[in-house]
């Protein structure tokens, strides 16, 4: 596919666990071609602006396979909300509570969005109508019905991961608020 296609798929379908920008994508695709892991072909489709379609080579497939099999190094966790919470805790309990409540509201909003996407995906998996965005990215990738079914499940399961993560955060908010509220709340500002 093209660099533009990659960006679109990531933005529309994988945004809950990945992101990319053109400043990374195009130089990386160039590098892959230089290293013989992908090939670049011009593809002038129906009078549109010239685009370049990249195809994985057999060396690229091997490399991809090696990467998948290799151990995944532990992600660098940096949770700014928790850092704020930690740095607040020595001071005012009230500040901590407000911090968590605000975080809770944000997480609830994101959960709603994810649940809406989940409903669309569930429907699509049962052969129902899918939204325009989903339709568009499925058109870019898999062609056979079986491949499409696999892709839909992959989108669905990664989304479920995002939902589980948010549910965990919301459960923590409840727990933390309960713990903070049963301590002295007299500390001012």
Partner DNA sequence: TCAGACATGTAAGTCGTTACATGATTCA
Partner DNA sequence: TGAATCATGTAACGACTTACATGTCTGA
> Which residues would be at the binding site for DNA (CB under 7 A)?
2-5, 8, 19-24, 26-27, 29-30, 45-52, 76, 78, 136
DSSP helix/strand/coil, 144: coil
Using CB distances below 5 to 8 A depending on partner kind, what does residue 11 bind out of a copy of itself, DNA, none?
A: none
Using CB distances below 5 to 8 A depending on partner kind, what does residue 24 bind out of DNA, a copy of itself, none?
A: DNA
Among 2, 8, 12, 16, binds a copy of itself (CB under 8 A): 16
- Of 157, 153, 158, 138, the residue nearest 15 (C-alpha): 158
Q: Does 185 bind a copy of itself (CB under 8 A)?
A: no
Q: Does 86 bind a copy of itself (CB under 8 A)?
A: yes
CB of 48 to a copy of itself, least distance (A): 26
Nearer to a copy of itself, 23 or 75 (CB): 75
Nearer to DNA, 14 or 136 (CB): 136
Nearer to DNA, 30 or 118 (CB): 30
Task: Provide the mask over 158-177, with x wherever binding to a copy of itself is found by CB under 8 A and - wherever it is not.
Answer: x-xx--xx-xxx-xx--xx-
Residue 126: DSSP 8-state: T
CA 161 → CA 16, 20, 118, distances in Å? Answer: 9, 19, 11
CB of 53 to DNA, least distance (A): 7
Q: Give DSSP secondary structure letters for 52-69.
A: EEEEE-HHHHHHHHHHHH
CA distance 172 to 82: 11
Dihedral sign for Cα atoms in the order 9, 12, 17, 20: positive
- Of 72, 51, 69, the residue nearest 61 (C-alpha): 69
CB of 50 to DNA, least distance (A): 6
């Amino acid at each position: 596919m093209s660099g533009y296609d990659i960006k679109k798929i990531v933005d529309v379908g994988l945004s809950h666990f990945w992101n990319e920008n053109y400043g990374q994508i195009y130089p990386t695709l160039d590098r892959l071609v230089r290293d013989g892991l992908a090939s670049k072909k011009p593809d002038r489709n129906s009078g549109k602006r010239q685009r370049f379609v990249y195809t994985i080579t057999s060396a690229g497939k091997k490399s991809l396979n090696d990467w998948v099999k290799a151990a995944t190094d532990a992600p660098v966790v940096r949770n700014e909300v928790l850092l704020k919470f930690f740095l607040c805790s020595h001071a005012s309990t009230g500040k901590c509570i407000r911090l968590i409540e605000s975080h809770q509201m944000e997480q609830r909003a994101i959960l709603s969005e994810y649940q809406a996407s989940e409903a669309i995906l569930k429907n699509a998996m049962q052969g129902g109508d899918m939204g325009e965005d989903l339709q568009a990215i499925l058109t870019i990738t898999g062609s056979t019905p079986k491949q499409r079914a696999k892709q839909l499940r992959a989108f669905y399961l990664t989304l479920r991961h995002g939902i589980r993560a948010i549910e965990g955060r919301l459960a923590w908010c409840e727990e933390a608020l309960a713990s903070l509220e049963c301590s002295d709340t007299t500390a001012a500002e």
